[in-house]
């Protein structure tokens, strides 16, 4: 099984094969718009602006499982992020990252990089770094700011 074997749902409801991102360094993040970590969108966008031309992508997956901090529709979330934080990286449909209805991609990511206290994602803005060949190389806690990940991204680019 590879990260490229999965498809995810775009904000338009269409399936997006992960193979679309083959050959790129990926930072996959579960996010929320009403979270104490939401200002990390600024740092994420800065990383994206700096490295997207070098083959870097951020994949944003809103999640409402933690304190209901991602309310609203996919369209409302996308509008908020675009208007308030000027994000331009790909955003996908709202998902669950834990439990019976968890997004299969996140089940896979968690199986490749366990967290400090096991597999489960503990909060919004957990981040997974994926190499160009699809290996899940690192998992970062929600409090890890995007700028702290920059050197790891550079090593993979």
Residues written for the chain: 157
Domain boundaries, the chain: 3-156
Neighbours of 121 (CB within 10 A): 24
- Among the listed residues 35, 95, 97, 129, the single catalytic one is 35
- Structure tokens given for 134: 């699809």
pLDDT tens digit sequence for 22-43: 999 999 999 988 787 888 999 9
CA distances to 14, 18, 148 from 9, rounded to whole Å, are 6, 10, 29
Domain 3-156 is found in CATH 3.40.30.10: yes
pLDDT at 118 over 70: no
pTM comes to 0.93
Mean residue pLDDT of the chain comes to 92
Q: Is 52 helix (H, G, I), strand (E, B) or coil?
A: helix
Selection from 143, 157, 149, 12 nearest residue 90 by Cα: 12
Catalytic residue status for 35: yes
């Amino acid at each position: 099984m590879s990260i490229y074997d999965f498809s995810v749902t775009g904000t338009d409801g269409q399936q997006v094969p992960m193979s679309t991102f083959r050959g790129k360094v990926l930072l996959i993040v579960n996010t929320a718009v009403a979270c104490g970590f939401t200002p990390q969108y600024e740092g994420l966008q800065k990383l994206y602006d700096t490295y997207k031309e070098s083959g870097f992508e951020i994949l944003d997956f809103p999640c409402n499982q933690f304190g209901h901090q991602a309310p609203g529709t996919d369209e409302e979330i996308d509008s908020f992020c675009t208007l308030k934080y000027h994000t331009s990286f790909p955003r996908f449909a709202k998902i669950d990252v834990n439990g019976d209805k968890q997004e299969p991609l996140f089940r896979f990511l968690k199986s490749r990089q366990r967290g400090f206290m096991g597999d489960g994602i503990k909060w919004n803005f957990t981040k997974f770094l994926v190499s160009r060949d699809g290996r899940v190389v690192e998992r970062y806690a929600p409090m890890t700011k995007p700028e702290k990940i920059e050197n790891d991204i550079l090593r993979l680019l």
